[in-house]
Structure 1
């Protein structure tokens, strides 16, 4: 299974490269900077939606950008920073998103996709077109001014609940798929809105799995609108687990404190008993008695009583 997952992750990387090359070949050079262009992939990849836009690197850093479901805030770091940057937005839809569920083993983590996988990648571009030797560029944001991914936008909500609630659903989490095969999960920023700190692939997942008979052994397709998305009744939420852990730790600390106090009291009583036994032994050996209000040792009378010599009386007689 591990080898299969590794091969699938490698396939996702190759898919990104294929999309990049096809985007470069079909990019319209006569479009002005900042104009979004839709890229039509071959028929066997027709379910994948691709948009691209070319921007000045300095403008991207100062003002940010918006393409599809991605909103890049101002103040991002672009490394390296060529004169032009080409952003490629990907929407893998319900069919191709399943390769991320399989490759990153979401079912092993008890998670299931409830949205298409969305990707945002950046490449270098020439002022008069696209680069002949393209390479990926790192677009890095901060937690205070992150990259926002809105899954309720018109281009991404086709596989979500048709009547989504404006309130946050605690059972939904944001998943970020990294190129090295790791997956990180985080809370939603708001209802169906995730935040990221760099370019990559994102999706919404849920911890509410269907009954075992309904689980797809093939690695998971998308959850459709018939699957519960906005309801409760799933697994124990994280905050309940955290509260239970805190209460359990508190009870454990109290019991440990009581045990320590009991050991100290027992030790003190033992010391007092030993002191009383030592005093009783000394009193018995020294015959301690009360002299006024003071306990003092006494000894037995061992002196010889004085006697008055009566020689002079014998001489007189």
Structure 2
């Protein structure tokens, strides 16, 4: 019995480890924005409760390797969504929205990729000259007519012909409008195209269909080293100190030159005296030698 329990626990642990390794491998190997959408879709489907009521926002729990990504999903009847619209986090879908093709129910998925995972869009889209100042927000729709636990649902289209979809970035952007520079609304198409538009109001963008959206601003040019402005009193003090130091050094130089000249003159005087004394001694010796002994 103990052996069977141990074997069962070992199998459970191994299965959990394999799932964790699989999730880690998936997270580390993601380079495509499209692949990330598919993985989020699969985890969303797995987390759904069969008895989930329509119109209720459900928070999706992702593996730890997808930390930073926030996903919410909600199921609607296509007719009700068309008549009344809906609010899904930052996305406001007005009345008249159309889901194509949709027989009865649709699963709407809202993504917030966070700043970390949003960097994937730099590799998948041409954003040269611009930088993201908000996380990427995604609004996608999938078929929810059949049992979602069997197979993967196919993607549907969301069209807002009468009233555009509003996307409010107010609570997630790091852009400051105090400088007077307003971010642009970026819409990331499935074909790799980026469309930039002006905001309709502060931190609010509009769209006519599903997709991924973000706020961007022009990248600042490389800054040159700025020379600090020196105050006048610092300049005066610095000039005075410099002048005093220069005068001090000049004085030391003059003193050194004077001492050197004085020392040289003294040496010359000593040499001259030495020569005179030596000449005097030679003269005296010569004089003594030159004298003759007087004859007595």
1:174 aligns to 2:208 (yes or no): no
Q: C-alpha displacement at 1:46, in angstroms? A: 1.6
Larger relative contact order (C-alpha < 8 A, sep ≥ 6)? 1
User: What are the superposed Cα offsets for residues 205-254 of structure 1, whole Å, 9 maximum, x if unpaired?
Assistant: 012425268xxxxxxxxxxxxxxxxxxxxxxxxxxxxxxxxxxxxxxxxx
1:124 aligns to 2:143 (yes or no): yes
For structure 2, the residue ranges without an aligned partner over 5 or more in a row are 1-28, 225-296
Please state which structure has a larger fraction of its residues in helix.
2
Q: C-alpha displacement at 1:135, in angstroms? A: 0.7
CA 1:30/1:105 → structure 2, altered by over 3 Å: closer, same or farther?
A: same
1:150 aligns to 2:168 (yes or no): yes
User: What are the superposed Cα offsets for residues 171-223 of structure 1, whole Å, 9 maximum, x if unpaired?
Assistant: 3100000111000011101000000010000000012425268xxxxxxxxxx
Q: C-alpha displacement at 1:82, in angstroms? A: 2.2
Q: Is the 8 A contact 2:72 2:109 kept in 1?
A: yes
- Runs of 4+ with >4 A deviation: 127-131, 167-170
User: Counterpart of 1:235?
Assistant: none
Normalising by structure 1, we get a TM-score of 0.58
User: Counterpart of 1:188?
Assistant: 199
User: Counterpart of 1:292?
Assistant: none
User: What are the superposed Cα offsets for residues 11-62 of structure 1, whole Å, 9 maximum, x if unpaired?
Assistant: 1101100000110011122221111110111111021000000000101111
CA 1:58/1:127 → structure 2, altered by over 3 Å: closer, same or farther?
A: farther
Q: C-alpha displacement at 1:83, in angstroms? A: 0.8
User: What are the superposed Cα offsets for residues 126-169 of structure 1, whole Å, 9 maximum, x if unpaired?
Assistant: 26656634111111113x5100000014xxx2x514xx55x995
Show the 5 A alignment for 1:209-220: 209=220, 211=222
Cα distance between partner residues in 1 of 2:48 and 2:131: 35
Q: Is the 8 A contact 1:176 1:202 kept in 2?
A: yes
CA 1:139/1:130 → structure 2, altered by over 3 Å: closer, same or farther?
A: farther
Show the 5 A alignment for 1:1-317: 11-106=32-127, 108=128, 110-126=129-145, 132-142=151-161, 145-153=163-171, 157=172, 159-161=173-175, 164-165=176-177, 170-209=181-220, 211=222
May I ask how many residue pairs the two structures share in their alignment? 197
Q: C-alpha displacement at 1:66, in angstroms? A: 1.0
Cα distance between partner residues in 1 of 2:58 and 2:87: 13
CA 1:168/1:152 → structure 2, altered by over 3 Å: closer, same or farther?
A: farther
Cα distance between partner residues in 2 of 1:187 and 1:202: 13
Cα distance between partner residues in 2 of 1:42 and 1:196: 30
Secondary structure of the 1:176 match is strand
For structure 1, the residue ranges without an aligned partner over 5 or more in a row are 1-7, 214-317
CA 1:42/1:58 → structure 2, altered by over 3 Å: closer, same or farther?
A: same
CA 1:130/1:60 → structure 2, altered by over 3 Å: closer, same or farther?
A: farther
Normalising by structure 2, we get a TM-score of 0.61
CA 1:128/1:173 → structure 2, altered by over 3 Å: closer, same or farther?
A: same
Cα distance between partner residues in 1 of 2:86 and 2:179: 26
Structure with higher Rg: it is: 2
After superposition, the CA RMSD in angstroms is 2.5
